Copies of this chain bind each other. A is one copy, B any other.
């Protein structure tokens, strides 16, 4: 071989570095994604860590038979990087030799190497281990990685400390029936619905903390926006003047994420045709006013005075978008009965909490607010709600021994990703979704 192609520098190269090796013979490994046979040559697409790379097979320069390659084989390709002005990449990758490391036993029952996986969501999810190999499918999760990297970069700069809190807990933070129960060595335990109690405790320790981790909700809803296990981006911060400080922090965080994605995830943005939202100021509207506005503008009678119907969230999005161009909107001052016992009520109106939701493209992606930091106030609210404060002794320790004014939020990572990609279903932004009917794979 060496005599044929002259001097060889067979270094192993990453897809993105190919452009720096024009004129050289290199090695690159990956899975054979697709073979497109033409009359006297073939395009061979190689799926590498992040990019699908086009190679060219031709008897002119390839020293092996095309039959040696199968789609989804793992191979090491020896190739010559030929400068080629007509190519979009600036080079042609001429395959010289291959080493086949492994072969599939049979071809995937779902076609995974077209532009999209053209099948039902059911099948898409049933065959996750292979359907995720589709270029666009996996790009969703690369982009999702980018969101968390962007969030962490921002929160680190703002001096938040990353924490890790337990998921097996002795009491639910959110109350209600949607909690998974567990036998814990003969005692009843639960799966954490949120890191709420712990992140508050940690405000007393580090002032600003965050966690990106799974949470569990035993919701029986089988909708396009519910998951029974999802990733919650939680932050909590002390020394706030008002719950609006938290909204401000989230606005800055989201701006940073968009800049980060724009800088570092251009490939995925182009591939998925993502329209990153432009974030300037995010408008805020009181819950009650939003309900009335939607009712008036769309001639809808208000049925539920304590919560939005999903349809109302979409209509609010339309209204706000038209008026302000913002695709985000904060809804503030949710009614007290709908918010958890740790939510701080407004001084002016005890029926309202100093809380907010953030809606993005018509879907709630964040819930946040100011928390009660005074011991007396917290105990009183719990008693008013008929709660047994003894069960919450360790939670109330922080209030008793001193806590700064504080608040925070939880952002659903999958919902955020899903809306960013304008998907119809949050499951599409979840690697292995869990819902009332799905536990496999």
Interface set of A (CB-CB < 8 Å, partner B): 14, 29-31, 48-50, 70, 72-74, 76, 101-108, 126-130, 132-133, 138, 141-142, 144-145, 148-149, 152, 156, 159, 161-170, 180-185, 187, 189, 191, 197-198, 201-202, 204-208, 213-214, 216, 218, 220, 228-229, 231, 238-239, 373-376, 394-395, 397-405, 413, 431-434, 436, 439-441
Known contacts A145-B162, A169-B439, A185-B220; 7 further A-B pairs (Cβ under 8 A): A50-B159, A74-B239, A74-B403, A102-B404, A106-B400, A127-B397, A168-B228
- The answer to whether B72 touches A105 (Cβ under 8 A) is no
Nearest B residue to A440 by beta-carbon distance? B170
Residue of A29, A373, A440 most packed against chain B (CB within 10 A): A440
A14 to B157, CA, bound (A): 12
Chain B residues with Cβ below 8 Å from A48 are 207
User: Which of these, B130, B201, B214, B238, contacts A164 with CB under 8 Å?
Assistant: B214
A234 to B238, CA, bound (A): 32
Given A239-B29, A402-B104, also A205-B132 (CB < 8 A):
yes
User: Which of these, B159, B168, B228, B375, contacts A105 with CB under 8 Å?
Assistant: B375
A161 to B208, CA, bound (A): 27
Q: Quote the shortest CB–CB distance from A265 to chain B (angstroms).
A: 12
- The answer to whether B165 touches A439 (Cβ under 8 A) is no
- The answer to whether A400 touches B132 (Cβ under 8 A) is no
- The answer to whether A397 touches B159 (Cβ under 8 A) is no
Given A105-B376, A168-B216, A402-B73, also A129-B183 (CB < 8 A):
no
- The answer to whether B205 touches A133 (Cβ under 8 A) is yes
Chain B residues with Cβ below 8 Å from A373 are 102
- The answer to whether B434 touches A164 (Cβ under 8 A) is no
Give 13 A-B contacts (CB < 8 Å), ordered by A residue. Answer: A50-B159, A74-B405, A104-B400, A104-B401, A126-B394, A129-B204, A138-B206, A164-B214, A167-B229, A168-B180, A181-B183, A184-B439, A213-B214
- The answer to whether B431 touches A394 (Cβ under 8 A) is no
Q: Quote the shortest CB–CB distance from A175 to chain B (angstroms).
A: 18
User: Which of these, B207, B229, B441, contacts A168 with CB under 8 Å?
Assistant: B229
A168 to B201, CA, bound (A): 26
Q: Quote the shortest CB–CB distance from A49 to chain B (angstroms).
A: 5
Q: Quote the shortest CB–CB distance from A229 to chain B (angstroms).
A: 5
Given A105-B400, A395-B441, also A148-B129 (CB < 8 A):
no
A374 to B100, CA, bound (A): 13
- The answer to whether B204 touches A133 (Cβ under 8 A) is yes
Chain B residues with Cβ below 8 Å from A145 are 161-163
Q: Quote the shortest CB–CB distance from A173 to chain B (angstroms).
A: 12
- The answer to whether A432 touches B204 (Cβ under 8 A) is no
Chain B residues with Cβ below 8 Å from A163 are 141, 145, 431
Chain B residues with Cβ below 8 Å from A165 are 431-432
A1 to B155, CA, bound (A): 36
